[in-house]
Amino acid sequence: MAALTLAVERLAAATVLSCHGVLVAASAMQLETALSQALLRPELRIVVDLAAVAAIDCTGVMMLRVTAGIAAEQGGALVLAGPNVQVVHTLRECGSLGAIATYSTVQAALDADTTALITAPDTVPATTAWPINRRSA
């Protein structure tokens, strides 16, 4: 099982869910459980802190996107905060960067500071090269 730890902080205006580790298919149930609990709160604003997430796959992104849709249907919101360059790349590739508001920090997300929205991930230099799988002919 992939390593993922979660910490929940319940504030008056939002629930902050801090994720640490990798957010991939193998850890999706942990995330789903935490998000389901957050959806039960009367103040339905969820901030998912991704600052300590080393990697995310499309399963993790889809879990966030589905929960964001459920929160919106119930009059609330799910937003993301603090993703690294690789996580932003995956969010963009999975078509969720524009669909889920993504802020540079948790505080910006709590404040709904639109000047801190991440909208152009390609302007941030990558710290590592993406591996390319090539097959021999």
Give backbone dihedrals phi and psi of 6, rounded to 5 degrees, phi first. Answer: -130, 145
The mean-pLDDT minimum among 20-24, 25-29, 69-73 falls in: 25-29
CB 81 within 8 A of CB 51: yes
Alpha-carbon distance 26 to 32, whole Å? Answer: 12
The mean pLDDT value for 71-83 works out to 96
Which domains does the chain possess?
4-121 (3.30.750.24)
Count CB atoms within 10 A of the CB of residue 27: 23
| Count, residues in the chain | 137
**Strand 4-10 to 15-23 pairing:** antiparallel
Q: What is the pLDDT of residue 41?
A: 86
Q: What is the pLDDT of residue 12?
A: 86
Distance from C-alpha of 91 to C-alpha of 46, rounded to nearest angstrom = 18
pTM score, whole prediction: 0.85
